């Protein structure tokens, strides 16, 4: 059985370490190496920054990060490979990102990158290199028992990244390790310093890796998005026209600022790509009572009568809910109105601190509906 804080059972096994060039994945690789694991470091090159007219530092996929990952591998004395994943990243992350904003959805590119590129690609690499596991620097805890693998929130409540793994399949979960998941971030940096890792003091970026400037609108325009920038009406939930907009891609569901409307406050509650319309409502009308979720995946299926909580945004609280499951779709119902979320976001299901699984929000229903 495997737990995040006990790597002794992995001694002598071959493990692929997903090295991003940051301190978390650097310490992950160091801990595995110190435990006697045969570690093979892999950096996934997913985006070409040569065209970016900005200073690059600290994002997980930059040229400098590939160099830093190699330096850590050299320090540890482990094999290292830089894998070109740009084609898969564009197909599975960039193109859906653009099309979602054009249609009125709010995508979660980190979830798609984990599900389709990182875990998908790394497990294929692991098979080719005859490695039993892959390991990442995510702050998530793994604990196995007689029933199989279980994922739990990271010990560091601020750094917990279990939300982004909600759509991980059971088959993927069985082969993923999280050596830093039981640590606080300060401890991770301490180990990096004590181990002499060159990334010990490296800055940590909070930006989307392929939009390091943080300017989503400029990125979409640069990538040739057209449908998301068709001008249209801003209307309230009753169909009254309140103003005009320059494209639904400029808005996100739940947005409150920058609407330029009188008679507020207003919240964006719907984005209609077909009719190029932005729909707004007053705060009391914007709250939701029900969410439809698709693309369900389970690490450990919910049990009958089990108390379930759902997290609808990375930085939001997990909320008690009633969950009705029908195949690979589900309906989430709340007793009381909740802050809005958006189609395209992740719905992560928990039982206490255990991550059960999750899916992608397909539709939201407001309290006034």
Strands 277-281 vs 232-236: parallel, antiparallel or unpaired: parallel
Query: Which of 110, 113, 250, 321 is flagged as catalytic?
Result: 113
Buried b (16+ CB within 10 A) or exposed e, 274-286: eebbbbbbeeebb
250 is catalytic: no
Counts of helices then strands in the chain (DSSP H, E): 10, 17
8 A C-beta contact, residue 80 and residue 16:
no
Strand ranges in the chain using DSSP code E only, listed in sequence order:
14-18, 38-45, 79-84, 133-135, 140-145, 148-153, 176-177, 232-236, 241-245, 267-272, 277-281, 288-298, 308-311, 319-326, 329-338, 346-351, 354-366
Buried b (16+ CB within 10 A) or exposed e, 326-351: eeeebbbebeeebebbbbbbbbbbbe
CA gap 222, 362 in Å, rounded: 27
**Token code pair at residue 269:** 């509650």
8 A C-beta contact, residue 293 and residue 332:
yes
Query: Which of 110, 209, 250, 321 is flagged as catalytic?
Result: 209
Residues 6+ apart with CB under 8 A from 101: 107, 216, 220, 225, 228, 248, 249
8 A C-beta contact, residue 141 and residue 100:
no
Burial of 303: CB neighbours in 10 Å, binned 0-12, 13-18, 19+: exposed
8 A C-beta contact, residue 192 and residue 25:
no
Active site residues: 113, 209
């Amino acid at each position: 059985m495997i737990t995040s804080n006990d790597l002794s059972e992995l001694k002598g096994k071959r493990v692929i370490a997903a090295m991003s060039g940051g301190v978390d994945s650097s310490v992950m690789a160091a801990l595995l190496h110190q435990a006697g694991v045969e570690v093979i470091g892999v950096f996934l090159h997913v985006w070409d920054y040569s065209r970016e007219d900005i200073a690059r530092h600290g994002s997980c996929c930059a040229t400098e990060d590939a160099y830093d990952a190699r330096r850590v591998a050299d320090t540890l004395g482990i094999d290292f490979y830089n894998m070109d994943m740009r084609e898969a990243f564009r197909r599975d992350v960039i193109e859906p990102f653009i099309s979602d904003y054009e249609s009125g959805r709010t995508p979660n590119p980190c979830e798609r990158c984990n599900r389709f590129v990182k875990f998908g690609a790394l497990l294929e690499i692991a098979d080719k290199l005859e490695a039993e596991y892959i390991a990442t620097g995510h702050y998530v805890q793994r604990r196995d028992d007689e029933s199989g693998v279980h994922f739990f929130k990271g010990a560091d409540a601020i750094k917990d990244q279990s939300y982004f793994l909600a759509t991980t399949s059971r088959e993927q979960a069985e082969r993923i390790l999280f050596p830093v998941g039981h640590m606080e971030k300060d401890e991770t940096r301490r180990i990096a310093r004590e181990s002499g890792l060159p990334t010990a003091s490296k800055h940590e970026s909070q930006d989307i890796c392929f939009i390091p400037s943080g300017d989503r609108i400029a990125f979409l325009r640069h990538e040739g998005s057209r449908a998301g920038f068709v001008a249209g009406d801003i209307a309230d939930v009753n169909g009254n026209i309140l103003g005009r907009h320059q494209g639904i891609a400029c808005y996100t569901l739940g947005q409150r600022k920058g609407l330029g409307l009188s008679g507020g406050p207003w919240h964006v509650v719907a984005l209609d790509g077909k009719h190029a319309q932005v729909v707004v409502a007053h705060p009391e009308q914007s709250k939701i009572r029900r969410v439809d979720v698709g693309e369900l995946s389970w690490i450990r299926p919910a049990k009958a009568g089990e108390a379930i909580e759902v997290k609808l945004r990375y930085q939001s609280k997990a909320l008690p809910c009633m969950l009705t499951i029908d195949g690979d779709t589900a309906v989430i119902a709340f007793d009381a109105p909740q802050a809005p979320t958006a189609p395209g976001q992740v719905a992560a299901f928990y039982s206490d601190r255990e991550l059960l699984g999750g899916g992608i929000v397909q539709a939201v229903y407001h309290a006034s509906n």
